[in-house]
Structure 1
Amino acid sequence: MKKLMLAAAALALTAGMGMAQTVRMATEGAYPPYNFVNDKGELDGLEIELGNELCKRAQLECTWVKNDWDSIIPNLVSSNYDTIMAGMNINEERKKAIDFTDPYTPPMPSAYMALKADADIEGGVVAAQTNTIQASHVASTGATLLEFATGEETIAAVRNGEADAVFADKDFLAPSVAESNGELVWVEGQDNVELGEGIGMGVRKSDTELKEKFNTAIKSMKEDGSLNAMLKKWFGESALQF
């Protein structure tokens, strides 16, 4: 009888392990170096590498879901996936709808980029990706906000003359400046604008246990230096660190 009970317990444990819920991690896949689709057609970037390591440390089975930016929060709330890792800055407006883990980047600077350093960012047209803290900031100025679904479209709007400047995360814009042979430049004095509280993982307000598991994993990476090493890998030696 004892052997039968032990066997039954082992079977129940195995079944429970087999039914363990997979944590579905959403990202945009269009915001390098945070997240993008590489030449092999695979999701890549800081957040993919970091997310996989966090799942490993938290002993979670995770899978990635690619989702457009403009619906990424509604789909989390609707339980179409369980987390968001998509270059999402923590701010008070977003906290009304979802919760966040501790930040896995320090507050990252935003910047204005244009075809000329004296572009009019107060009275002109400024492009920004929709539903971003940069779009909200532009809307609070005297500039005309021109919103696009993706970051790449905001850069294209500057190049084709639709917008006088683009406002976005500096790390996102930096490669375009570096590779443009002088065509694209930072707007003078506007290449280090501080917004937000840092970038974190979005979770549903009800998922407190999941949030704490990821917080513990993030803390361990901060303490052993591996998070700073990852930030340097993706953002360069001058990357802001913890």
Structure 2
Amino acid sequence: MILGQSIVDIFKGSFIMVLLLVASIVVVALVVERFLYFARNGFDARRLYGRFRQVLRNRGPRETMQFIRRVKNPVGGLLQVALENNHLPPDELGEILYSFILEEKVKFDRYLGGLGTMANAATLLGLLGTVIGLIRAFHNIAMTGSGGPAVVSAGIAEALLTTAFGLFIGIPALFFYNYFTKKSNDLATQMESTLDKVVVLIQQEKKKAKENPREPEPMPEPEPLPKREYRPRTDETYADEGGWKF
């Protein structure tokens, strides 16, 4: 019970409260979706780059590609794109990697605009509901001609309920919007830092490989084919092996 009314009666009597209820459901859905996304795609760029550099220097690009394909996060994708385009000049390689980061940034920011809109809209809807409630309360007082302090206070309290509900939705939504926005910016910054380091690393390794080319391993001699003894086959033999029978 709130202000002497059940929750069902409150929502039945106010269209604004119904809109706020829908907004609260949308906010919860967006927050849960973003939490799950960042939990699946989180990464430690510095640690992953250190492992990538170690494998590349010790085992070469082929085994490094096999290693990095097993990494299922945005930085792993960035390093894979870098290896696939290692033949390009540094400037072109950097542009391709930066384009990849921009694509990932769009995924980081997905639904954040909606979350921020809900934070503002819920608060404004609450204020709108309060204004409408006050207008209705004073109109009823004017129509009935009875409006002591108790009646006026009850009407104002009921009108302010929508503001309270709007703030109850808007404040957490604004908090999560700022939290996810900062997380998105931090992840994008880590990827940009990794971009600069991986471009320099690839150029260094290409230079080393050019100055100290590895000698190709000798090809093993092919083994002679075993000699097969010719044996004429009978019609029964061809029939057993599924061949033609003449």
The question of a shared fold, defined as TM-score above 0.5 by the shorter chain, is answered with no
Greater per-residue helix proportion: 2
Tell me the TM-score normalised to structure 1 length: 0.24
Mark the structure with the bigger radius of gyration: 2
Greater per-residue strand proportion: 1
